[in-house]
Every structure is written in C-alpha cells, then in structure tokens.
Amino acid sequence: MDLLDVLLWMVWVWAVLACIWLLVWIGIDIFRDRELSGWAKAGWVIFLVLVPFIAALVYLIARGDSMAERERQRQADAMREHADYIRSVAGTSPSAEIDQAAGLLDAGVISREEFDALKAKSLA
C-alpha cells in the first residue's frame, strides 16, 4: 500500500462520512419541521432510505432554504432561552431587591420588620 492508496482511502472515508452526516442532518430536519404532516415525514424518510442520494438532492433543492431558516430560528430560540435562564439565576441589584421588598410591604405580604431585614440584607 503506497502513499497514493492511503490518500485515496482517506478521501473515500471522508466522502462516506460526509454523506452519512448529510443524511442524518436531513433526517433531523424532517422530524423538527412542524409544517410537515406525519405522512409527509414518513414519505421523506422512506424516500431517504430507498434512494438516499437522490432524496437528499431533492430535499436540499426543495426545502434547503426553509431548512436553513428553521436552524436559524432554533438557534435564536436557544439563545433566548439561555439568556432568560441567566437572568433568572443571576443576582439582582440591591435597589431592585429593595424595590421588590417595598412592593411586598405595600401589598401587605410582609411586615415592616421583614422589610427592614430584607433591606439590610440587600445593602450588606
């Protein structure tokens, strides 16, 4: 086995892995798409299994733009959820905590002593 055989084998392995990755990515997109009905999803999957390369080409031509849009939307949703989570677990400023405690005091949920304790804790 000489160097050319090794290089051709590496190119062949890369091409096979790229094809598998493409088919998996298309399968993921099919099942994430909320616009497709169950029968349409089943049809695309059967098409992908029977003639994978033709099906992948047809899918990318027919639904490639919406595939990219769905991925952008999914990433935007994930970023928004992540930012919301960070805001929910991050500590608030002392003035915001005092303002929240004042709202509770005005609503009659806490007593004046509890408000003073929360205020002292926030300022400490």
Per-residue pLDDT reduced to its tens digit, 88-121: 777 677 888 888 888 888 988 888 998 888 888 8
- pTM here is 0.63
- Is residue 24, in this structure, part of any structural domain at all? yes
Residue 90's alpha-carbon distances to 83, 84, 87, 94, in angstroms, are: 10, 10, 5, 12
- Whether residue 75 lies inside any domain: the answer is no
Q: What is the pLDDT of residues 68-83, one digit of tens each?
A: 899 999 999 999 999 9
**Number of structural domains, the chain?**
2
- Domain hosting 111: range is 92-123
What's the angle, vertex CA 19, arms to CA 74 and CA 51, rounded to 5? Answer: 100
